[in-house]
């Protein structure tokens, strides 16, 4: 693994646990096992490192999500998406969504972390539309929006309140209640 990759992976884990603004360059270099000079040689600013970390998280998340969801039969994939989020939310190191957290800390729509969060969410939504099409929803774009909102709500709810079975089952119930080809969607 290259030094740049090591720094990026270490930074992503620290940003995720502690926040973007709360993670200083000194701490970032210590966690990565490099000097500040080395960190700055690879990333001219903390903002460049945040961008690299978010790009890494996007790649990791999309790979993990699609692997989990695509393993289910096509008609079960919308529910598999909720199950993927539930499994993630129940993990010991769950600290919410790195992109929701980034958009909260960088609230201006023009901030690069906010833009990266928006791009990530748009790609998740596009993926959900594809699985809703495969699941034969009458209106897959509407179903994907609903599934997206249910999933995002579950992420935030579990971050704030903990991943209780009641919240997870409520989200699963909403997805199970979504109609496919014969229904109103």
Domains and CATH numbers, the chain: 53-176 (1.10.357.10)
Q: What is the pLDDT of residues 146-171, one digit of tens each?
A: 999 999 999 999 999 999 999 999 99
Q: What is the pLDDT of residues 111-152, one digit of tens each?
A: 999 999 999 999 999 999 999 999 999 999 999 999 999 999
Q: Quote the percentage of the chain above a pLDDT of 90.
A: 95
**Cα–Cα distance for residue pair 35/182, rounded to 1 Å:** 61
Give the H or E element holding residue 155. helix 140-161
Q: Is 6 left (phi over 0), alpha (psi -120 to 50) or beta?
A: alpha
Confidence of residue 180 (pLDDT cuts 50, 70, 90): low
Q: Which residue, among 78, 80, 116, 112, has the nearest Cα to 97 in the 3D structure?
A: 116
Confidence of residue 1 (pLDDT cuts 50, 70, 90): confident
Q: What is the pLDDT of residues 31-84, one digit of tens each?
A: 999 999 999 999 999 999 999 999 999 999 999 999 999 999 999 999 999 999
pLDDT value for 178:
86
Q: What is the DSSP string of 10-77?
A: HHHHHHHHH-STT--HHHHHHHHTS-HHHHHHH-SSHHHHHHHHHHHHHHHHHHHHHHHHHTS-GGGH
13, 5 Cβ separation under 8 angstroms: no
């Amino acid at each position: 693994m290259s030094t740049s990759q090591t720094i990026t992976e270490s930074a992503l884990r620290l940003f995720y646990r502690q926040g973007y603004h709360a993670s200083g360059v000194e701490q970032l270099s210590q966690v990565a096992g490099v000097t500040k000079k080395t960190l700055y040689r690879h990333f001219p600013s903390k903002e460049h490192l945040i961008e690299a970390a978010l790009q890494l998280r996007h790649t990791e998340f999309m790979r993990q999500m699609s692997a989990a969801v695509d393993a289910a039969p096509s008609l079960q994939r919308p529910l598999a998406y909720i199950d993927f989020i539930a499994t993630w939310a129940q993990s010991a190191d769950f600290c919410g969504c790195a992109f929701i957290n980034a958009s909260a800390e960088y609230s201006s729509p023009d901030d690069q972390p906010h833009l990266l969060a928006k791009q990530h969410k748009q790609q998740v939504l596009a993926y959900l539309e594809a699985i809703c099409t495969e699941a034969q929803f009458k209106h897959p774009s509407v179903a994907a929006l609903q599934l997206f909102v249910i999933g995002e709500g579950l992420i935030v709810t579990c971050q704030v309140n903990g991943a209780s079975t009641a919240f997870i089952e409520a989200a699963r119930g909403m997805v199970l209640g979504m109609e496919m080809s014969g229904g109103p969607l």
